Chains A and B, each alone.
Chain A
Amino acid sequence: MVATAPDKTGGLSQAEYDRRLAEFEARIARGEKVEPADWMPDAYRNQLIRLIHVHANSEICGALPEGKWIPHAPTFKRKLALVAKVQDEVGHAQLLYRAAETLGPSREQMVEDLIAGRSKFSNVFHYPAETWADVATIAWLIDGAAIINQMMMSEGSYGPYARALKRICYEEAFHLKHGYEMCIALATGTKYQRDLLQDAMNRWWPPIMMFHGPSDKESTHTELLVKWGVKLKTNDEQRQQFLKQFVPKMIDLGIKVPDEGCRYDEATDTWLYTEPDWDEFKRVVRGGGPVTHERIETRRMAHEDGRWVREALAAAAAKRPVPMPPAS
């Protein structure tokens, strides 16, 4: 037997593949959603699996820097809000893993891929949340940047992902509002509070500017993803929308935007900025961030700590003796 190259048409004749592809693309062009049982090109399926998996991982890992701050929240009201936000983020991960599962991979496999460092998560969660102002900055600007991305993706062509994102955006609205309120409190507080906020902004600005991904000049295969309704705006368009929405508000709060090159250009109605260090971005998302190891290790410990619960539930379901929790 002669080994054949991976089959682009998935075992179909070229004519049948072309017919199905035309039907698939026509459905998307009409604005209809693609559902799990529908035929789809492998490239579409694989791209969505990768995208939703990374998105789910990011929700889980995004809960970690904030979760660490729960015991240190400055007031009871802030603590309640933070607990609720962290619960939301973990819930979002579950919604997204479920959406990804409809395309093939199991949740079990995706959870293990994250722990083993085989799958990525958002660049911003590879950095530490050092002060309370970091918590405020994350909730305002990172959730704000994420909402821009998620609102866009909720109009995407894959039904289960779009539906999960509608729910997620609804919940994220509280995170954003609460984050803004926290930043206002710091920006209108004592000098110490204002300095704390500025310091957080200085450290978080570069990763936030990278959040929407590499510049369109460097990003490949965007055109096909736009055609297939996987991506509705380019990375630079999303970044521009973020700057338009948030920079005036930052200036309003007396925050100095930590980029000398950041200014509004009236002629083109765009915000100009210094191109972020994309080598840093690549290094970080490939596992070389300041706290990449800590994030994955925390996730692994949480997974291990819950093992006896999963075993007990499985034993009970199978009518076997339920094991005792380990002595702590």
Chain B
Amino acid sequence: MTDTSNPTDTQWPVFEVFHQQARGEPHVHVGSVHATDPEMALLMAKEQFARRQACVNLWVVPASAITATKYEDDDIFEHGTDKSYRESWGYKTPKTIHVTKKESQQ
């Protein structure tokens, strides 16, 4: 992050911008802006990302506040063992079992 005390430097901090199209919808990352503070970041984000599409809410987050995993470490998301028991498709059930029919034949 750059030092804003240098008045000739416009290389201000980066804020990531999240845009919500309607109440109840998730906030979606749409890009980022440079700003001296969160209020200015909101103003820049409104001009840049809310000129046309519906928007009911914007978030700005200092990019420096985001901690991310590394793509080269994406093997951490791989499953060491078969995790199909966590999935609905991991369970096979026939369409009909005919228990009632079998019972009635006995």
Contacts and interface: CB of A to CB of B under 8 A. Distances in A.
B102 interface: no
B51 interface: yes
B27 interface: no
A311 B7 CA distance: 5
B9 A91 contact: no
A314 B9 contact: yes
Interface string A204-246: 0000000000000000000000000000000000000000000
A107 B10 CA distance: 8
Interface string B1-12: 000111111111
A315 interface: yes
Contacts of A318: 4-5
Nearest to A98: B32
Interface of B is mostly: loop
Interface string A287-328: 000000000000000000000001101111110100000000
Contacts of B25: none
Given A107-B10, A108-B9, A313 B47 contact: no
A317 B37 contact: yes
B51 A320 contact: no
A102 B48 CA distance: 18
A76 B40 CA distance: 31
A98 B36 contact: no
A106 interface: yes
Contacts, number: 61
Contact of A108 (B10, B14, B47): B10
B81 to A, nearest CB: 26
Interface stretch (A35-43, A49-57, A247-255): A35-43
B52 A98 contact: no
A314 B31 contact: no
Contacts of B68: 37
Nearest to B47: A91
A107 B11 CA distance: 7
B33 interface: yes
A316 B36 contact: yes
Nearest to A108: B11
Contacts of B37: 316-317
B5 A38 contact: no
A32 B57 CA distance: 31
A95 B31 contact: yes
Contacts of B33: 94, 98
A171 B10 CA distance: 27
Given A91-B51, A94-B33, A95-B48, A314 B6 contact: yes
A101 B63 CA distance: 13
A245 to B, nearest CB: 24
A310 B36 CA distance: 9
A270 interface: no
Given A35-B71, A38-B71, A98-B32, A315 B7 contact: yes
Contacts of B32: 98
Contacts of B103: none
A325 B81 CA distance: 66
A164 interface: yes
Contact of B52 (A35, A171, A310): A171
Contact of A107 (B4, B34, B36, B52): B34
12 contacts: A37-B70, A37-B71, A94-B33, A94-B48, A101-B14, A107-B34, A164-B31, A310-B7, A314-B9, A317-B12, A317-B37, A318-B4
Given A37-B68, A314-B9, 4 more contacts: A91-B48, A98-B14, A98-B34, A317-B12
